[in-house]
Amino acid sequence: MADFIKKFFSFSVGPVGGAVISLITIPVTTYFISPTEFGKAGLFTMVYGLVITLSYLGIDQSYSREYHYSSNKKLLFQNSIIFPLLISIVLLIILTLNKQLFSIFIFGDSSYSYISILFGLAVIFGVFERFILMSIRMEEKALEYSMFSILLKIVILIVTLFLIFSGERDFKVVVYSTLFGQMVGDLYLIIRYKSLFKDIKTKNFSWILIKTLLKFGFPLLISVSVNYLLNTTGSLFLRAYGNFEDLGIYTAGQKIANFLNLIQVSFTSFWVPLSYRWHKEGRTQIHFQIISDILLFIATIGFFTLAFLKRYITLLLSADYSDSQYIICFLALVPILYTLSETTTLGIVFSKKSYLNIYVSLFSILTCLIGSIILVPRLLSVGAAFAIAVSYIIFYLSRTYFSKKNKFEIKIGKQTIQIIILLITSLANAYNYDYIIFVNIFLLVISLINQRNIFDNIMDIKNNPQNYNFS
């Protein structure tokens, strides 16, 4: 367990460092940029995230799946990255030929057409970044992975401050800092790991291997794309039924809730390669169960920390964003449930039945669409946040169900109870009343009682280390 904890904290250095930097970047940005302009920037970053995710073709997940079973890691890397790179280059050409249309679609103004070209270049750099970082993760080089995460955040902060002090006060601050920060950081990454691209020859590319990667990855591409649409549904409905100010408040709430992305990024960064290795080595089911339960306990503490401090955190943004405090808890359930499902979904991964993720994503997006149609016109950002929180509960339950069908069963009775408690807490914090702190304390106590078996497990590991191997 000591080795496991050490590795977890090594991978956590980057997210924690990035979060500290974000504590500077986000308040600075929101202080100088109105919710309306922040909403435009949020729409841009949403589209960027979707496009770059599509560019991977799901092969990034195939790469991680095949890594420990490949005798030639460099050859696997080169075969994995070639198709996503070609797709991103074609995208750049298309954007260059249609740059004004892209500018009108995103910003409602053709005068920002030059951003289209920068967008395409950033996607190419992003493909390099994704696969190089996947290689670092699979080698379990925790500190190297973390250091790059910090570097990227620092570059984005520097560009943000430069633009603000240069007089920029609109959405371009976020857009430029995102694009230039990304490309500068990725350029360093490419130079640092240029050895991965050495000795590239035509004969190195295996169509059989590429087809294997596509066969496993394409269903995941569909799943990830639908899942990304799930994450952007709230923004799209607010754009339709609200205005850019509503969208800005919702985006700000997401930024605050991303505090719990510390857990998600830290955990998933090393859990994916580690779980594959444990499966290959035949670790017993109890190891996966204990990690899943401990993860939920840590996430619960993080969730209630946000609940208690939400008012003070939103004060850092500026008074214009104060309403985001009422949706933070709903939005915090997104990283919690996604991360938790990473420990319960392994039956899908180990069985190579990646197509099951399509069903998971469809169940989730349908829930979110129905919830958004009913709630967003009436409750705006609160309705959007509630809809996505419920849809992620469906996401977690669906992943777990299909995983159990493939002989990987983690007991989720107490986990389900805890998730219900967190949803009730989110509902309670969606309104403004004086005694909310006492409600939160009561629900926290109930949570600790529900998860008391965690302490028993930890003591058993301490007293009988010979029965466990978390290395």
Q: How confident is the model at residue 55 (pLDDT cuts 50, 70, 90)?
A: confident
DSSP 34-82: -HHHHHHHHHHHHHHHHHHHHHTTTHHHHHHHHGGG-S-HHHHHHHHHH
Lowest mean pLDDT among 4-8, 44-48, 441-445, 451-455: 4-8
| Predicted pLDDT of residue 15 | 59
Across the range 235-263, mean pLDDT stands at 70
How far apart are the C-alpha atoms of 471 and 468, rounded to whole Å?
A: 9
DSSP 223-283: HHHHHHHHHHHHHHHHHHHS-HHHHHHHHHHHHHHGGGHHHHHHHHHHHHHHHHHHHHHT-
Q: How confident is the model at residue 423 (pLDDT cuts 50, 70, 90)?
A: very high
* pLDDT of 417 strictly over 80: yes
Which among 279-288, 309-318, 360-369, 447-456 has the top mean pLDDT?
Answer: 360-369
* Structure confidence by residue, pLDDT tens digits, 188-228: 888 888 887 777 766 667 777 777 777 777 776 776 777 77
DSSP 406: T
| Predicted pLDDT of residue 38 | 66
Across the range 335-356, mean pLDDT stands at 80
Q: Look-up: residue for tokens 């619960």?
A: 300
* pLDDT of 29 strictly over 70: no
Q: How confident is the model at residue 186 (pLDDT cuts 50, 70, 90)?
A: confident
Q: How confident is the model at residue 394 (pLDDT cuts 50, 70, 90)?
A: very high
Across the range 19-27, mean pLDDT stands at 65
* Structure confidence by residue, pLDDT tens digits, 120-161: 888 888 888 888 888 887 776 767 777 777 777 788 778 777
* pLDDT of 83 strictly over 80: yes
Q: How confident is the model at residue 321 (pLDDT cuts 50, 70, 90)?
A: low
Q: Look-up: residue for tokens 């590319």?
A: 205
* pLDDT of 442 strictly over 70: yes
How far apart are the C-alpha atoms of 431 and 331, rounded to whole Å?
A: 15
Distance from the Cα of residue 17 to its chain's centroid: 17
* pLDDT of 422 strictly over 80: yes
How far apart are the C-alpha atoms of 322 and 397, rounded to whole Å?
A: 33
**Predicted model pTM:** 0.69
The number of residues making up the chain comes to 471
Between residues 9 and 344, the one the model is more confident about: 344
Which tokens sit at 180?
């230039």
